[in-house]
Structure 1
């Protein structure tokens, strides 16, 4: 392989790796793509907490958790997903289709904006801890910017 091919290929691989890694380690970030607002933080290893809202509110908010090994768990998918924020009781945010589930989601979402740290776990996933420092400046209040539960759009 010639030097002319190696340099552009190396540059392209570096850029593609950055594009796939949404978010920063221990810092909440926000993004926007194709009508979806995205809020995310990366933790240790491959752990990540990803929240997304359809800007028009036509689709339910989404939360996807990846543990340090990259095992993903998402709400409204038949999997168990829980959050323990600071010293509060663990909240089951596995589904947002029921009245109780939507209430749990709204409570947890808004608590993410005011808490200090969250421990997230789910079906077959190892627990991961994420900071909530700066989250209030990134994550909107639940009900704003199209962030709604499945219960609210049925």
Structure 2
């Protein structure tokens, strides 16, 4: 009887979906490294998250992924528009880095993330969300010292 119960429990738990905790913190920026990428992220309300990644070897272009409160995502490799507004600055389009203008916007955003107080991100098919920039300068290196590479420069 105990053996049958144990086997049933093991089978049932193996069939249940695994719930993973999102990488990040709601109150502070976090840095991590995974599979050759430097990752920087912060969580917001609901499922919202702002995630930046730079390939440590310069083989892949820099990436930004924004997830809204309900879990919908846009990213720099999805051909969808992503806008960032930092403090009282004009919103900038950071959707791509395949062009010089797009790459300049990404560098502008990176530098402002390090010096600003709040970023609001919006995009095609997602609701906007705001994130604190408190402590971002301690986590995000200066852009020139990061391993980020624009798509056009690869």
- Shorter-normalised TM-score: what interval? 0.7 to 0.9
Distance in 1 (alpha carbons) for counterparts of 2:141 and 2:111: 8
Structure 2 regions of 5+ residues with no counterpart?
none
**1:103 aligns to what?**
104
Using the size of structure 2 for normalisation, the TM-score is 0.87
Q: Is the 8 A contact 1:142 1:148 kept in 2?
A: no
> Could you tell me how far 1:25 is from its partner in structure 2?
1.3
Q: Secondary structure of the residue that 2:33 maps to in structure 1?
A: strand
Greater CA deviation, 67-76 or 134-143? 134-143
Distance in 2 (alpha carbons) for counterparts of 1:59 and 1:144: 17
Distance in 1 (alpha carbons) for counterparts of 2:25 and 2:5: 35
> Could you tell me how far 1:143 is from its partner in structure 2?
3.1
Q: Is the 8 A contact 1:58 1:146 kept in 2?
A: no
> Could you tell me how far 1:102 is from its partner in structure 2?
0.5
> Could you tell me how far 1:27 is from its partner in structure 2?
1.5
Q: Is the 8 A contact 1:71 1:125 kept in 2?
A: yes
Aligned Cα RMSD in Å?
Answer: 2.2
**1:145 aligns to what?**
146
Change (3 A) 1:27 1:2: farther
> Could you tell me how far 1:2 is from its partner in structure 2?
4.0
> Could you tell me how far 1:49 is from its partner in structure 2?
0.3
> Could you tell me how far 1:38 is from its partner in structure 2?
0.7
Q: How many residues align?
A: 148
**1:36 aligns to what?**
37
Q: Secondary structure of the residue that 1:70 maps to in structure 2?
A: coil
> Could you tell me how far 1:142 is from its partner in structure 2?
1.6
Tell me which structure has the larger Cα radius of gyration: 2
Distance in 2 (alpha carbons) for counterparts of 1:115 and 1:128: 16
Q: Secondary structure of the residue that 1:127 maps to in structure 2?
A: strand
> Could you tell me how far 1:77 is from its partner in structure 2?
2.2
> Could you tell me how far 1:146 is from its partner in structure 2?
1.2
> Could you tell me how far 1:80 is from its partner in structure 2?
0.2
**2:70 aligns to what?**
69
> Could you tell me how far 1:144 is from its partner in structure 2?
2.2
> Could you tell me how far 1:93 is from its partner in structure 2?
0.3
